[in-house]
Amino acid sequence: MGALKIVLTIIFILVCIALVVLVLMQEGKSAGLGAISGAAESYWGKNKGRSMEGLLVKLTKILAVSFMLIAVILNLGIF
């Protein structure tokens, strides 16, 4: 069981690093002065789910859930 805990810890560290990188790659919610003039309703604003930003948001959600699950598993103390 010790080997499984080591593998989970390594995966946990990799997920942590990937989560930090993904959060830093994302743009802020307010896009500067473009948000004031209504530029958020452009083509990229409407199709955000299909863009690179939408992919980053989806990956961030997946990594956040896996972060929480691995953290709970590691802290249960069954290994």
| pLDDT band of 28, cuts 50, 70, 90 | confident
Q: How confident is the model at residue 48 (pLDDT cuts 50, 70, 90)?
A: low
Residue 62 pLDDT > 60, yes or no? yes
Mean pLDDT of 4-11: 96
Note whether 73 and 5 are within 8 A (CB): no
Span 51-67, average pLDDT? 93
The reported pTM is 0.73
Domain residues of the chain, as ranges? Answer: 48-79
Is the pLDDT confidence value at 41 over 60?
Answer: no
